[in-house]
Structure 1
Amino acid sequence: MSKLDELKEKNKDLIIHSLDDSEFKKYGIVYSGYDLSELNKYMDKVSISDTNSYVVDNDKIEATKIIKDIERDIYAGMSVSAGECLGHCNSFSAIEFHQGSEVNITFTDVVMALGKRSDIENQEYNAEKHAELFFIPKGTVFEMYSDTLHYSPIEVEKSGFKAIVIVLQGTNQILPDHFKSSNRMVVKKNKFQLAHKTRTDKISQGILPGVLGKLIEVNSI
């Protein structure tokens, strides 16, 4: 039985697509031909802890050939930030998007819950109604388009998840103290986010509780 089949068996109430399914085409694209060996050596040394960790800019990762190649091929020479994202997550408890695509590289199998920005109405998004789940195998390089709603990778196995996140430089950085915007979805530089009502930690920070519907949860294998 494949990992995807095992996952489906543990989550019979959910529809989990593969990247080969046509449903993924509106959200992004998968790339092949990139040599992950240099990054594999680095990520093998990075341990998953009990708490989630996301490093926006990691100089060692950004110096690798593959990141330079992605900067050239996918971002057409625009400067990018790249860093590791790892930890534990089993639900789609928030949504976010950026101006400009995000590229992820997976170092464990993960599930991504994805949606479209056009389904946000009045700063609310019904994830239960609109979001779709995709199984993404270890070693995948994939782009999520600018209008694709996403959040943290969801772990397939109880040991957690590992990925590298690549975004346009400046994205996900802390806003200056004097920054003010009439758009209440702005939470960091080039980061627009809404949270599910269960994320009281985010709501207490001022993030809008705009993710509606039953919380999407995935049982790991």
Structure 2
Amino acid sequence: MKKVTDESFKKYGRILDLDTKEFVEVMMKKDTVMEGTVYKASDPDFEQLPLFTQLQKEVYGDVPIEFGYCNGRNNKLNAVEYHRCSEIDIAATDLILMLGCQQDINYANNTYETEKIEQFFIPAGTAVELYATTLHFAPSRENNEEFRCGIVLIKDTNLPLETKPTDATGENRLLFARNKWLICHSESKPAKNGGCIGLIGKNLEI
């Protein structure tokens, strides 16, 4: 595992100089998740914060965004996803991100080798931008403790698709939700929900 300050993180994203104290205080009042993970694309508690306006104007160039969260307990990779925009992750607790590069996907058969994944430790209070070509999924935490992570994306990302062709091929087969392309491991929950199974190798575990 590497620190987010490590030079190798630069191909995946960057640390943002943001005041996250107020966000962390609001996040820590959310209900505790005892098992699994909970994702909410848009949360009004966060979208009323000055940080929301700052992110929309300074990071996303004043296009509409959503500010939600992913909280829970997770210690496996399970899947990798990417978007056509950067994702901002704000750690309210210490957490670990498992990251890869979209360029390493084999689009001939929609597969990705899990041995290429790198793990990075993100300290509580840290905000990072993950570039659009960075593969990622739910955060993790050592000893399966609860993690809490703010998630900022272009508005409507991760919402259900209006229609999804049953005969999709190529990269279109990976489209799992709006602005969300997903490759999952055979052991994962998304695999049981129609996700494209294409992770080759171990389902990496913290």
What is the aligned partner in structure 2 of residue 9 from structure 1? none
Alignment pair present for 1:208 and 2:196: yes
- The size of the alignment, in residue pairs, is 199
Name the CA distance, whole Å, in 1 between partners of 2:59 and 2:187. 36
Name the CA distance, whole Å, in 2 between partners of 1:43 and 1:193. 27
Structure 1 residue 41: deviation in Å? 2.2
Task: String of CA shifts for 1:76-108, please: whole Å, max 9, x gaps.
Answer: 111111112100000111000000000010011
Mapped contact 2:21–2:125 kept (Cα < 8 A): no
What is the aligned partner in structure 1 of residue 22 from structure 2? 38
Name the CA distance, whole Å, in 2 between partners of 1:41 and 1:213. 39
Ranges in structure 1 where 5+ consecutive residues have no aligned partner: 1-15
SS in 2 for 1:164: strand
Task: String of CA shifts for 1:31-79, please: whole Å, max 9, x gaps.
Answer: 12x2223212211211321231111011221121011101111111111
Q: Residue 93 of structure 1 aligns to which amino acid in structure 2?
A: N
Residue among 124, 138, 142 paired with 1:156 = 142
Seq. identity, %: 29
Mapped contact 2:95–2:124 kept (Cα < 8 A): yes
Name the CA distance, whole Å, in 2 between partners of 1:172 and 1:109. 24
Name the CA distance, whole Å, in 1 between partners of 2:46 and 2:148. 14
Q: Residue 130 of structure 2 aligns to which amino acid in structure 1?
A: M
Name the CA distance, whole Å, in 2 between partners of 1:22 and 1:217. 23
Taking structure 2 as the reference length, what is the TM-score of the superposition?
0.92
Task: String of CA shifts for 1:118-171, please: whole Å, max 9, x gaps.
Answer: 10003100012x111101111101000000000000113533100100000111
Residue among 88, 92, 102 paired with 1:107 = 92
Mapped contact 1:113–1:150 kept (Cα < 8 A): yes
Ranges in structure 2 where 5+ consecutive residues have no aligned partner: none
